[in-house]
Amino acid sequence: MKHNTDLDGFQKIIQYQFNNIGLLKNALTHSSYANEKKTGNYKDNERLEFLGDAVLELTSSEFIYTGNPDMNEGKMTRLRASIVCEPTLAMCARQIHLQEYIMLGKGEDLTGGRTRDSIISDALEALIGAIYLDGGYQAMQNFVKKSFSRMIDQAIDGKLFSDYKSEVQEILQGKGKPVTIAYETDREEGPAHDKTFFVHLSCNGEIMGKGIGKSKKEAEQNAAKQTLEMLERRK
């Protein structure tokens, strides 16, 4: 898959025209590209990703709250988690062909970075953050609504991805005792552009499950999934 540099075409796809095109370029700049260029003109998208993650959680919470007046807090939390998780974000990103426009370092691109869920989902969060800074809350909300409405409907119908972390938290905290749930990275293997993460989940210091993934988020979800399977066997 080749890198697409037609940002005018991309803005037509997302139905949003940037006032500051620099914000869009920043949102599309992966750290591998910024490190490769090693100049102040290219900043990676991690700060925008941080902002986009926060505003996406806020606006998706608002959509769920206003659209489901009879839904309880626990179900709303699980619903939101399934919407903002990595697989859902990557799916939404692919619908707007975001992966084609991300600026990657040569090594990252050659090893399949353009198809990696972690990179694509992070870029979508960065794009959301960029739209928020460029056009304000309403512009960001309009974009999220167009991009995520089908996913929200699928999540309500139970047809979207399971968020194992939320399920584990609900089960362990529902036992009536105070619990401390933690995810810790045991080790990382592989080169910087193609790492594998090994994570364990602990509850009050007891290791409950372990997971492996190409991103920390994926490894944590797999650790939570293994924990759920273990808890099911204990019943």
Q: Return the active site residues.
A: 53, 125
181-189: strand order across its sheet: 181-189, 196-203, 206-213
How many CB atoms are located within 10 Å of the residue 112 CB? 13
Is there a contact between 156 and 178 (Cβ–Cβ < 8 Å)?
no
How many CB atoms are located within 10 Å of the residue 54 CB? 14
3-state SS assignment for residue 176: coil
Is there a contact between 211 and 224 (Cβ–Cβ < 8 Å)?
yes
3-state SS assignment for residue 41: coil
As beta bridge partners, residue 197 has 188, 213
Contacts of 13 (CB under 8 A, 6+ apart): 96, 97
Using CA atoms, how far apart are residues 83 and 95, in angstroms rounded to an integer? Answer: 15
Dihedral, CA atoms, 120, 126, 130, 133, nearest 10 degrees?
Answer: 160
Token pair in block for residue 169:
């938290």
3-state SS assignment for residue 213: strand
